Structure 1
């Protein structure tokens, strides 16, 4: 999964390529004189240098912003994932919709380090939080919200125990998981 800053950089590059294509500069791919160029022209050197500098400056700024937010405890970064919360509580569907509205999804730990990062946010707000995990068609069988089977779990002792009645998953302040009905308000934590 790409970080938020990577998506911005890709978007800027795509926008630049599109803008240059409209100005008779078809983009970076297919540049004449470069193996596999296909005879298409790319941006002139001075524009390529400006694009590189602009992207480098944006990347540097985004890294500084990420660091500042991390330092203030507003986000947690693990590998390529960023976990963040606005401190608000909502039911599962509303939490998921909120995260998707901002280009993310509900926090979904796929290893111990990600689980700890989410737990740190749960502890900070001292509130249980929904995870991006739901019960599948078979009672007791939980999956990521994208439908893939779990390859990591951290269930609390004797959980899950809802037997088809508790279809969502919450994280306790100790980082363990519990199956829970989806209509209870819990802390919203998104991943990007």
Structure 2
């Protein structure tokens, strides 16, 4: 009986130490992976209104400058249980004759386009000129009509 008790105490001590170590490493990993805070909004607005909404909250519509940022953003969307409706990013080519730029005026260099995108559709004279993280569970980039109503993501830098 006493040996069993000693074994159980030893066993739970080892499990407790191991569990604490795993949790600590995970928490530190997440902290290092998240250089930005993302704020996902699930009211549907057009791209111009998404820009205004972020600004009214003291933030900017999200810019995705690297694979790491893209992975963090997609992770945030999944953690929030979202992905059926697309999210506006700040990427657009409204004033640049075909070249996509972020809201901060830096050119889009890293991309994560859905296969076949951008496809530059034009309907009734309107061109697809704004970048969304596509919904329907796809979570890849898509060029879309800026007038469409989608969710949006604001960001703040830590």
**Aligned equivalents of 1:158, 1:183: Cα separation in 2:** 21
2:129 paired residue number: 167
**Aligned equivalents of 1:118, 1:187: Cα separation in 2:** 14
Q: SS at 1:143's partner residue? A: coil
Find out whether 1:82 has 2:37 as its counterpart: yes
Asked whether the 8 Å contact 1:154–1:176 carries over to 2, the reply is yes
Higher RCO (CA < 8 A, seq sep 6+)? 2
CA RMSD of aligned residues (A): 2.3
Q: Cα distance, 1:116 vs. partner?
A: 2.1
- Render the CA deviation track for 1:19-47: whole Å, top value 9, x for unaligned: xxxxxxxxxxxxxxxxxxxxxxxxxxxxx
Asked whether the 8 Å contact 1:154–1:175 carries over to 2, the reply is no
- Render the CA deviation track for 1:70-92: whole Å, top value 9, x for unaligned: xxxxxx99443110113222110
What are the equivalent positions in structure 2 for 1:112-127 lying under 5 Å apart?
112-123=67-78, 124-125=81-82, 126-127=84-85
Q: SS at 1:166's partner residue? A: strand
With structure 2 as the length reference, what TM-score do the two structures score?
0.65
1:138 paired residue number: 97
Asked whether the 8 Å contact 2:34–2:72 carries over to 1, the reply is no
- Bigger fraction of residues in strand: 2
**Aligned equivalents of 1:130, 1:104: Cα separation in 2:** 14
Out of 84, 87, 107, the position equivalent to 1:149 is 107
With structure 1 as the length reference, what TM-score do the two structures score?
0.54
Gaps of 5+ in 2: 1-30
Q: Cα distance, 1:121 vs. partner?
A: 4.0
Q: Cα distance, 1:163 vs. partner?
A: 6.1
Q: SS at 2:128's partner residue? A: coil
Asked whether the 8 Å contact 2:64–2:70 carries over to 1, the reply is yes
Asked whether the 8 Å contact 2:40–2:77 carries over to 1, the reply is no
Gaps of 5+ in 1: 1-75
Find out whether 1:177 has 2:136 as its counterpart: no
Asked whether the 8 Å contact 1:89–1:185 carries over to 2, the reply is yes
Asked whether the 8 Å contact 1:107–1:118 carries over to 2, the reply is no
Q: SS at 1:167's partner residue? A: strand
- Render the CA deviation track for 1:100-132: whole Å, top value 9, x for unaligned: 111111111111222123223444223210111
